[in-house]
A = this chain, B = another copy of it.
Amino acid sequence: MTNTSPRLPSAAVVREVGLRDGLQSIATILPTEQKREWIAAAHAAGQREIEVGSFVPARLLPQLADTAELVAYARTFPDLFVSVLVPNLRGAENAIAAEVDLMIVPLSASHQHSLANLRKTPDEVVAEVARIRAARDAAGSKTLIEGGVGTAFGCTLQGQVEKSEVLRLMQALLDAGADRVSLADTVGYADPAMVRELFEAAMEIAGERFWCGHFHDTRGLGLANVYAALEVGVRRFDACLAGIGGCPHAPGASGNVSTEDLAYMLGSMGIATGIDIDALLALRQRVARWLAGETLHGAVWQAGLPKTFAAPAARPAIAA
């Protein structure tokens, strides 16, 4: 159908994070060659933003040890916006050297989760972002810095995470020099009402610097949460092909929102993503073979597209 709702955008970006958030959460270590195939096929299917890995020590995440090589490969596609995750200044220096377009610094709004995962308080992460900003500017680099506020809707360790604390940390990231900020429902605690409330407040604070919504489908609400975020103006969403990744604490439970289902929902609503869903489903089949034995997710690959489905033609410009 055509997009008749004035509240919905004409275009949105689906950022593929399967190669990072997806692969880091599963046991299979995908060979670099297959990751290159994945990047090339995702690009051919119309994806223009891909998080290709993480600059962390290989001993911590052997799945992502080839990140530098993948950045170099991804940069051979001139219209591909390449991002990586960096946990600290050292990772950021690698990202700057690799000339990625954007580096995501994760911050956990849950103090307990932050200490357990990053061994830093949230405010220590903010201080690190200030150092990263200084290093980026000193290097004359164009790499953008995204501060990603995780456990924004609660946390499996600490439970409640206050909205005011999430927003305080987001403001602190902006003040420390983050070019972009994002919100992530790391553990799948969000519902559409929470999303609407928090994202509305976040976008008031960050304006054009608000960048991305990151939702997990742990309790089946991933796409409902995306829709709620769309309604308050969010225009970019993280997703993993086949819904991989996410929640090591709930075996078998869904991980990230699946790229193909998200692209279907957006396309069905008349929101252009530039993604060819049939090509994406063909890629999903290949990735599913590579990840044989892993639990995959998603619905459209099983049910097929509706007979009535017609994707919007236009491709959104990447406003980075």
Q: Which A residues contact B (CB, under 8 angstroms)?
A: 1, 3-5, 8, 154-156, 159-160, 187-189, 191-194, 196-197, 217-221, 223-224, 226-228, 247, 250, 252-254, 258, 261, 264-265, 268-270, 298-300, 302-304, 306-308
Contact = CB atoms under 8 A, between A and B. Distances in A.
Given A5-B197, A220-B258, 15 more contacts: A1-B191, A4-B193, A5-B193, A5-B196, A154-B308, A159-B307, A188-B303, A188-B306, A189-B308, A191-B268, A191-B269, A220-B264, A220-B298, A221-B265, A250-B303
A111 to B, nearest CB: 15
A160 B196 CA distance: 32
B193 A3 contact: yes
A219 B197 CA distance: 27
Nearest 4 interchain pairs by C-beta? A220-B299, A191-B268, A193-B269, A253-B303
Given A221-B265, A303-B253, A193 B1 contact: yes
* Copies per complex of this chain: 2
Nearest to A257: B220
Contact of A306 (B189, B252, B303): B189
A269 B192 contact: yes
Contacts of A250: 302-304
Nearest to A297: B220
26 contacts: A1-B191, A1-B194, A5-B196, A154-B307, A154-B308, A155-B307, A156-B307, A187-B306, A188-B306, A189-B306, A189-B307, A191-B268, A192-B227, A192-B269, A193-B268, A194-B268, A194-B269, A219-B300, A220-B258, A220-B298, A221-B265, A223-B224, A227-B228, A250-B303, A250-B304, A253-B302
B189 A219 contact: no
Nearest to A302: B253
Nearest to A158: B307
Nearest to A271: B193
A226 B224 CA distance: 8
A252 B219 contact: no
A160 B154 CA distance: 42
* Chain B CB within 10 Å, residue with most, of A159, A191, A219, A264: A219
A1 B191 CA distance: 9
A155 to B, nearest CB: 8
A88 B137 CA distance: 74
Contact of A223 (B221, B253, B270, B308): B221
Contact of A154 (B221, B252, B269, B306): B306
Contact of A159 (B155, B188, B308): B308
Contacts of A189: 306-308
B261 A220 contact: yes
